[in-house]
Amino acid sequence: MSMTKELEDISAHKVGTESLSDLVQQMLIFLGENPEREGLARTPVRVAKALRDLTAGYRTDIDQLINGALFNEPYSEMVVVKDINFYSLCEHHMLPFFGVCHVAYIPNGKVIGLSKIPKLVKAFSQRLQVQERLTSQIAETIKSKVNPLGVGVVIEARHMCMEMRGAESYKSPTVTSSMLGSFRKDARTREEFLSLINRK
């Protein structure tokens, strides 16, 4: 990245954080709080920075993230990366949901660097999301970038919008899956994946 581009990004980040901070200050007033009292004096800035961090995925270039980490490899058995921890914000209430993501694929002449899979999960989870879309985005991206014989993604997550409000259903995980290619067509492939991620 050039020095000019880096300075532009820093400037845009500062402006974005300042604007968010002003909005948070207004929100505190609407909630009946005094944003100038000691405990809240720095809260607008903290919240603005936190929201920028928690939505960093909007500013992540997926091609740049992968950065050529695709390698020719004749390996043709299942590759599984399981128990990838993630945190996201539901787009309906902007409350957190979090859990683990399990990803598998069967190579078709190419493999992706293993560290890129958790980074993909993070890039898509750091956005305003619904769990169903998050699951599909991870699977579809691996399908399009790696062109494997099949991809499987399973996400298990707890949603604070369910636990803190509404149903107030405590510790009720939601499980979603996306099965593409051989994972969708072949029951044995799908069962092998599910068996591997459930093995302790």
Structure tokens at 147: 């062109």
User: 92, 102, 140, 156: which one is catalytic?
Assistant: 92
Q: Which one is catalytic: 6, 8, 73, 91? A: 91
* 91 a catalytic residue: yes
Question: Which of these is catalytic: 101, 102, 159, 192?
Answer: 159
User: Looking at residue 36, what DSSP letter applies?
Assistant: T
Catalytic residue among 140, 156, 161, 163: 161
Active site residue 126: no
The question of whether 102 is a catalytic residue gets the answer no
Q: Indicate if 131 belongs to the active site.
A: yes
Residue 159 known to be catalytic: yes
Cα–Cα distance for residue pair 173/168, rounded to 1 Å: 13
**Catalytic annotation, pick one of 101, 131, 137, 192:** 131
- Considering 25, 90, 102, 129, which one is annotated as catalytic? 90
| Sign of the C-alpha dihedral computed for residues 90, 140, 146 and 101 taken in this order | positive
Cβ neighbours of residue 143 under 8 Å, at least 6 residues apart?
A: 151, 180, 181
Indicate which residue of 93, 140, 156, 163 is catalytic.
Answer: 93
State the residue for tokens 């707890």: 158
The length of the chain, given as a count of residues: 200
Is 161 annotated in the active site? yes
Which residues are known catalytic residues? 90-93, 131, 159, 161
